[in-house]
Structure 1
């Protein structure tokens, strides 16, 4: 497969298109020759993005956490001839267990897990009819490494990782390629000021959206699989799977710092 063949002349539905990573993905996919179906909640932001991209693209403003708007989006995407889906929309949360609110619990479960699964389910019959279709689910390193202060966020991404893995295997006899991409921290507005400050204090690197978009697009020209982005974080994923007590010890040393930034009660 050549550098751009997975996306060239393909119609790709991109959720969370106006966010930091969404914009970077949109720009690079447009440059690779994809026709983009952009979606986010703000129509003015979508219009602005579409006008900045090379080539003609379409957009559909929707709150995809609402079932009726999500269905309308899928109906539109199918009518537009969708060839691929990138589940990029998501929300973050830095908070200690027991200090998250019920609305935060519901929002994270809906946006980070229920929505991408629902979009896959609705679009799969159409994607299976394409000669070469792709699903890319954007997860997180924290879906594979349980980090204090991110228990709820990590749980939603862990669910998405396992769903993507099973879906990839289920569709291995089809023409739909499924990727799960798990970046480390990205310098986008998705992260709160407390998250930025905590990562600086801990010395954790944060990648730019452009860096992550470039790597995702490059890696998705390889055979379907789960992709972990960032060093040494991708090494920690392996260590955590094989020797979790080593990671327990390392994170125990950071616990006081994490609690200072993630805690809501003093």
Structure 2
């Protein structure tokens, strides 16, 4: 593997971390984003999921690519199939990030994307991460600062994962062929409920933060009131069903096996981000 590595979403949370890890490894990286700006020592390239005319320049000189859906997309099939097809046509290895548990039913849109990649004939690795620890800041930060995390998770638990661990795994599988053809569910070290997470945050920032179990309807209304489209709000509500059913409470050891370091804990993430959580 002597070509460049294309990282989609290079200005996002996972993308920035992945670019940094790959550059530190001495890899030649193309950082793809809508604006096309350089990121962390990587070459910048303009890329738009909805504009296939941007694909050729993004894939030029590339033999490996990290692919994930753009934040806020309501149709992962429409967003991801075209770029996967373009990569497969060039025999570019694709490391695809989907989500925890999407392989349960073939009708799940993310699973349909996975199957499309598998059948494409190009080398691939699939990563299925659990809920992100970073969500407590990126998605629920306003709630934390207001004193309440209101999500429709019921009493369910999730083995929250640090996005830097996802980036570390992605970097590892992008730089060897040893994992080609594999699919890895990725998790943090233990399952934690939202009430416990709120208590941990409360201790770290020195003021009360409560967990308020919401209904799907109330959650959707809150999101649309904040400007989220109704379709994406409904999607976000729907992905809490596996949490309530206990499906996201499982853990795996793939982070440690692939990266040779233990997965980062939610407690450590909260301590590191306490100032930002406090606001």
The TM-score range, normalised by the shorter chain, is 0.5 to 0.7
**In structure 2, distance between residues paired with 1:194 and 1:200:** 20
**In structure 1, distance between residues paired with 2:171 and 2:18:** 8
2:139 to 191, 194, 214: 191
Partner in structure 2 of residue 180 of structure 1: 126
Partner in structure 2 of residue 215 of structure 1: 169
Size of the aligned set, in residue pairs, is 190
**In structure 1, distance between residues paired with 2:66 and 2:7:** 5
Compute the RMSD of aligned alpha carbons: 3.6
**1:39-188 maps to which residues of 2 (within 5 A)?**
39-43=32-36, 46-47=37-38, 49=39, 52-53=40-41, 57-65=42-50, 67=51, 71-78=52-59, 80-92=60-72, 107-109=73-75, 112-127=76-91, 133-141=92-100, 143-144=102-103, 158-171=108-121, 176-186=122-132, 187=134
Shift of 1:164: 2.1
Matched, 1:32 2:25: yes
Query: Structure 1, residues 152-185: CA drift from partner, whole Å, max 9, x if none?
Result: xxx8xx32333323532551xxxx3112211111
**Which protein, 1 or 2, shows the higher relative CO under an 8 Å CA cutoff with sep ≥ 6?**
1
- TM-score by structure 1 length? 0.58
**In structure 1, distance between residues paired with 2:12 and 2:69:** 8
**In structure 1, distance between residues paired with 2:82 and 2:215:** 34
Query: Structure 1, residues 221-259: CA drift from partner, whole Å, max 9, x if none?
Result: 42322211116899xxxxxxxxxxxxxxxxxxxxx9242
> Gapped runs of 5+ residues in structure 1?
1-5, 93-106, 128-132, 147-154, 235-255
Name the structure with the higher helix share: 1
> Gapped runs of 5+ residues in structure 2?
192-211, 226-279
**Contact kept in structure 2, 1:139 and 1:183, CA below 8 Å:** yes
Q: 1:39 to 1:10 in 2, by over 3 A?
A: same
**In structure 1, distance between residues paired with 2:170 and 2:185:** 10
Partner in structure 2 of residue 243 of structure 1: none
**In structure 2, distance between residues paired with 1:210 and 1:257:** 28
